[in-house]
Amino acid sequence: MPQAAWSTKRERQYEHIKEGLEDRGRPARVAKEIASRTVNKERARSGESRQASRTSTEDISSGRRGGLRSHRGSGGRTRDQLYAEAKKRNIHGRSKMSKSELESALGGR
């Protein structure tokens, strides 16, 4: 509960995000920072804060952004990750496919 201005809902949201990040191996300091930023952005989006940056209010929501960008580094999934999924789905010819061909065969996901 780092900020007195947060409602109990926002405090619960902060703890939930922080614990989830720590469970996934993020250092406590980084988890606290990400959780704080996420909660503050959600407060700004819903009009709970006095000031809000344009990106806080006009960008996609934190939850939606996380869902869209999860497990995708700068270039998306690696060829090995795509190959493993293709193998799991029993896609024929996967061993000779490039990364882009594997993405297409998997439906561009």
pLDDT band at 73 (very low <50, low <70, confident <90, very high): low
Domain positions in the chain are 8-69, 73-109
> Is residue 10's pLDDT more than 60?
yes
pLDDT band at 77 (very low <50, low <70, confident <90, very high): confident
> Is residue 26's pLDDT more than 70?
yes
pLDDT band at 62 (very low <50, low <70, confident <90, very high): low
Alpha helices in 1-109 (DSSP H): 8-23, 28-45, 54-58, 62-69, 79-88, 99-105
**CA-CA distance, 76 to 99, in Å (whole number)?**
10
pLDDT band at 18 (very low <50, low <70, confident <90, very high): very high
